[in-house]
Structure 1
């Protein structure tokens, strides 16, 4: 389903939001990365956070997932302050794939994916056939069933990334936060992973991604959050947000924005110094000196 948001409309304080940040300030070692930020994640759509390196994308995602505690402000999950919830309760509602996760040495793929079921275990509810079925389905959805008995540390980078996504799926939440889920993947496998994310969204999941590939972000998102220097520069549907001017302001990027010939979203055509026809540097192209 494609849900349109006018530019900026998703940044307000809607009551139906699953996840929101209110006046959040976050930093590391005395350095403020995000200052007094407000954002609302719309329900049941794919939201992608984009921005230049160091702008605060991953910091925002880690704050929304409670991995980072804000110095000021509140993160709200399903109407409750996430700081006051039990870790197990958060994990039952929200699944997170961080950047560059590390598995214990020698752990097999099946064992790692099974760890996604831990939030659902207790002394009253032990491992069951239902848990095993969820793990098998998660392995199959990411195409790693044949790797189940392999050690995670023996896999290629792309295989490991798909296994970690499988573990997140096994967690069984309908709110997923994925920090650069296509890292280490070639383009074909990146498309496979994002098609899977889109399938999850179609089934009713709310998904928040951090992506570096701008064209994949526009293709797979109904809501973009564009960040610059720890603040939100723009938010809304890709058709309403992505312009040559915005790309210049957010990334210092020269580009033309055209209609995607195979989709209904904008397509970004970067302009460098080489192999560019002079007639393409027209008045509609934002030209800046890179450096």
Structure 2
């Protein structure tokens, strides 16, 4: 069964995208990972990029953040070609949390978060009470103010992720890119971190995530970007995008999509070989299975 690709962007309100890729081609060592890709990130919503391993999710995020330079095309940040902006100016507009960041041994939480103010420092503008207030506010927003004097490497995984997000917030940006922020976290801590991300979104931030957990992606996102083999397979609100057919095309996954009993988003029920009741398999699920 063919998948009807959805390309409408929900919740953007028709506003100009803060961040966009235009005809972007990116690769590593001569191998093309993303080819001639166009995408726009709607303002003040949570956008999550999903797709199978190796499909280009993190490559796209790294390209949007200027960590990777496209061989063709451009990335536009607030109307400007990001490649032509100074690194300091990009850091004042866009905060990036990469996969599995590592802090120097013995560095305290307060010192790490204070590093988020570096883009605002210069020989003319040294550390000030305003910077201290921003750091204090970032620590409070992420609920780690009581950990300020503790070494980062002594914290739990969930605490560390909150601290890294706090450092990103200290940059003073309202555009955040987070690459797999729930990696290595148990489910309770993953939800805790995503609740924090949702709080940031509610305060007006534009957030772009890469996530592997599909149900967390649908629960916390207003806009999904589904990738396959370096291209965008579908984009839009989870209610419009997530179907059994799309999951099969994007992931090779057999699944049943039902209404979430505690939310307003779809819930994905994976189907393996064991412990499956044939009488609960509807016609569409069977067709995907046979396809």
Deviations for 1:83-109, whole angstroms, at most 9, x for unmatched residues?
000000000000000001121222111
Aligned-partner Cα distance in 2 for 1:2–1:252 = 13
Aligned-partner Cα distance in 1 for 2:26–2:281 = 40
| TM-score (structure 2 length as normaliser) | 0.92
Q: What SS class does the counterpart of residue 284 from structure 2 fall into?
A: coil
CA contact (8 A) 1:5 1:222 kept: no
Aligned-partner Cα distance in 1 for 2:148–2:135 = 10
The number of aligned residues is 291
Q: What SS class does the counterpart of residue 38 from structure 1 fall into?
A: strand
Larger deviation, residues 121-130 vs 106-115 = 121-130
Aligned-partner Cα distance in 2 for 1:6–1:289 = 22
Q: What SS class does the counterpart of residue 232 from structure 1 fall into?
A: strand
CA separation of 1:97 and 1:169: change in aligned 2, threshold 3 A: same
The match for 1:128 is 128
Cα displacement (A) at 1:15:
6.9
CA contact (8 A) 1:161 1:184 kept: no
CA separation of 1:130 and 1:33: change in aligned 2, threshold 3 A: same
CA contact (8 A) 1:14 1:40 kept: no
Q: What SS class does the counterpart of residue 10 from structure 2 fall into?
A: helix
| TM-score (structure 1 length as normaliser) | 0.92
Deviations for 1:98-149, whole angstroms, at most 9, x for unmatched residues?
0011212221111111101111112222212221122122222222223222
CA separation of 1:287 and 1:164: change in aligned 2, threshold 3 A: farther
Deviations for 1:184-218, whole angstroms, at most 9, x for unmatched residues?
22222222221221121122111100011111111
Aligned-partner Cα distance in 1 for 2:51–2:3 = 22
Task: Return 5+ residue gaps in structure 1 as ranges.
Answer: none
Cα displacement (A) at 1:3:
23
Cα displacement (A) at 1:69:
0.4
Q: What SS class does the counterpart of residue 13 from structure 1 fall into?
A: coil
Deviations for 1:266-291, whole angstroms, at most 9, x for unmatched residues?
11111112222121222121566799
CA separation of 1:219 and 1:180: change in aligned 2, threshold 3 A: same
CA contact (8 A) 1:49 1:208 kept: yes
CA separation of 1:169 and 1:104: change in aligned 2, threshold 3 A: same
Aligned-partner Cα distance in 1 for 2:254–2:3 = 29
